């Protein structure tokens, strides 16, 4: 898998475009957009409770905190988990396929996407990287913004805020992970810090969840738990593979089964949201789990929606 070279030549041509394995056939907000409070450096990170972190059944990585760090404050954050190298998807668009320990012997993949605009980086679905990975990330640019897409994700947000002073963008009520407090509370009208990027909000969901459409390269849809393109087992342990297969995860452009169950209001349906999603123009997609769907993503999702919502 081609990776981003740590050397500062990241403006060169695509390094990974031919290598994709996975082609498709409320807490009170502290500010609203345009009004940023002083940076929050958490002196008491206050990790969320141990145990499950939402519908995906993740064990909170805070239970395996880093034992060392250059500062005490860094050691209070969840440790970096095994991950692949940063890979270029398109010009100024990168992803990292990381992982997360869900429980004893159970590890699955967890992804983040990095968007670059000039020297500034915006991270979607933040995943803490190891020392080498972080050095490669810093070669790409300055981490300025974190965009939380999923209600159940955010365990590494405090690290990025403390380490880079990044601003956190998330929806009102996205408080499954209560820290850090957001700098920007997003809604459908929010202008994102990346040109050609638009926010899609799941209006019917019981908890805040959104996605980002990058209107370039044929359209890249970035989701969190809502849509997951599972076509291989990278970073998945044997126990995770067995569980994921039993739970119906292993499908292209799949709507995460536990996520759908948790997010669907009683007597309601998420179908209107996915129908609106299918009105967007995108050919590629990547979620917080699984792999990149390069080409044919919309048709694959259309097939999924017609199957899930007959």
Give the footprint of Fe ion on this chain (CB under 5 A).
Answer: 56, 225
Nearer to Fe ion, 56 or 209 (CB): 56
Strand 284-286 with 167-171, pairing:
unpaired
Please report how close the Cβ of residue 299 comes to Fe ion at its closest, in angstroms: 24
Min separation Cβ 171 and Fe ion, Å? 16
CA-nearest of 96, 305, 88 to 217 is 88
Shortest reach from residue 59's CB to Fe ion, in Å: 12
Residue number, 24 or 224, with CB nearest to Fe ion? 224
Residue closer to Fe ion by CB (options 57, 218) is: 57
Q: How far is the CB of 210 from Fe ion (least distance, A)?
A: 14
- Nearer to Fe ion by Cβ, of 8 and 173: the residue is 173
Cα–Cα dist 84/234, whole Å: 9
- Shortest spacing between CB 274 and Fe ion, in angstroms: 18
Residue with tokens 């394995």: 21
Residue that has been written with the tokens 């792999």 in this structure: 291
Q: Is the dihedral of CA 129, 134, 140, 141 positive or negative?
A: positive
**Distance of closest approach, residue 50 Cβ to Fe ion, in angstroms:** 17
Nearest to 184 by CA among 79, 306, 31: 31
- Say how far apart CA 310 and CA 307 lie, in whole Å: 5
Decide whether 86 or 155 has the Cβ nearer to Fe ion.
155
CA distance 171 to 188: 9
Phi then psi for residue 248, to 5 deg, are 85, 25
* Closer by beta carbon to Fe ion, 141 or else 150: 150
* CA-based end-to-end distance of the chain: 38
């Amino acid at each position: 898998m081609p990776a981003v070279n740590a050397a500062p030549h990241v403006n060169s041509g695509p390094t990974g475009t031919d290598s994709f394995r996975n082609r498709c056939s409320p807490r009170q907000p502290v500010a609203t957009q345009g009004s940023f409070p002083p940076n929050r450096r958490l002196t008491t990170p206050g990790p969320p409770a141990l145990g499950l972190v939402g519908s995906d059944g993740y064990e909170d990585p805070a239970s395996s905190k880093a034992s060392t760090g250059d500062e005490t404050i860094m050691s209070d954050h969840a440790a970096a988990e095994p991950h692949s190298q940063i890979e270029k998807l398109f010009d100024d668009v990168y992803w990292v396929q990381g992982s997360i320990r869900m429980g004893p012997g159970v590890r699955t993949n967890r992804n983040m996407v990095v968007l670059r605009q000039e020297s500034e980086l915006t991270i979607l679905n933040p995943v803490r990287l190891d020392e080498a990975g972080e050095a490669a990330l810093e070669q790409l640019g300055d981490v300025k913004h974190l965009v939380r897409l999923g209600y159940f994700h955010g365990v590494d947000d405090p690290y990025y805020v403390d380490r880079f002073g990044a601003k956190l963008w998330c929806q009102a009520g996205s408080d499954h992970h209560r820290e850090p407090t957001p700098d920007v509370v997003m809604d459908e009208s929010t202008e994102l810090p990346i040109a050609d990027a638009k926010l899609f909000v799941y209006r019917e969901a019981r908890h805040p969840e959104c996605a980002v459409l990058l209107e370039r390269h044929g359209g890249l849809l970035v989701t969190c738990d809502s849509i997951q393109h599972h076509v291989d087992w990278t970073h998945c342990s044997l126990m995770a593979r067995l569980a994921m297969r039993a739970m119906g995860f292993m499908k292209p452009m799949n709507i995460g089964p536990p996520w759908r169950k948790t997010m669907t209001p009683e007597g309601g349906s998420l179908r209107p949201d996915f129908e609106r999603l299918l009105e967007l123009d995108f050919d590629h997609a990547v979620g917080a789990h699984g792999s990149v769907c390069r080409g044919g993503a919309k048709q694959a999702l259309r097939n999924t929606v017609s199957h899930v919502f007959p």
